[in-house]
Amino acid sequence: MATLEIKDLHVQVETESGPKPILNGVDLTIRSGETHAIMGPNGSGKSTLAYSIAGHPKYQVTSGSVSLDGEDLLEMTVDERARAGLFLAMQYPVEVPGVSVANFLRTAKTAIDGEAPKIRTWVKDVTTAMEKMQLDSSFVQRSVNEGFSGGEKKRAEIAQLELLNPKFAVLDETDSGLDIDALRVVSDGVNRFTGQGDRGVLLITHYTRILRYIKPDFVHVFVRGKVAEQGGPELAERLEAEGYDRYLRESAGA
Query: Where along the sequence are the contacts to Mg ion (CB under 5 A)?
Result: 33, 46-47
Binding to ligand ADP by residue 17, rule CB under 6 A?
no
Binding mask 33-62 for ligand ADP (x = CB under 6 A): -------x-xxxxxxx---------x----
- Smaller CB distance to ligand ADP: residue 15 or 121? 15
Q: State the minimum distance, in angstroms, from the CB of residue 41 to ligand ADP.
A: 7
Residue 40: name its binding partner from ligand ADP, Mg ion, none (Cβ under 5 to 8 Å by kind). ligand ADP
How many residues touch ligand ADP (CB under 6 A)? Answer: 13
- Smaller CB distance to ligand ADP: residue 59 or 104? 59
Pair 49, 13: CB distance under 8 Å: no
Q: State the minimum distance, in angstroms, from the CB of residue 212 to Mg ion.
A: 16
Pair 93, 173: CB distance under 8 Å: no
Pair 205, 172: CB distance under 8 Å: no
Pair 23, 48: CB distance under 8 Å: yes
| Residues paired with 227 in a beta bridge | 222
Termini Cα distance of the chain? 38
- Smaller CB distance to ligand ADP: residue 105 or 178? 178
The DSSP bridge pattern shows strands 59-68 and 3-15 to be: antiparallel
Residue 42: name its binding partner from Mg ion, ligand ADP, none (Cβ under 5 to 8 Å by kind). ligand ADP
Binding to ligand ADP by residue 15, rule CB under 6 A?
yes
Q: State the minimum distance, in angstroms, from the CB of residue 77 to ligand ADP.
A: 20
| Residues paired with 40 in a beta bridge | none
Element (H or E) spanning 79, and its range?
Answer: helix 78-84
List of residues 6+ apart from 163 with CB closer than 8 A: 105, 109, 125, 126, 129
Residue 13: name its binding partner from Mg ion, ligand ADP, none (Cβ under 5 to 8 Å by kind). ligand ADP
The DSSP bridge pattern shows strands 3-15 and 18-31 to be: antiparallel
- Which positions lie near ligand ADP, rule CB under 6 A? 13, 15, 20, 22, 40, 42-48, 58
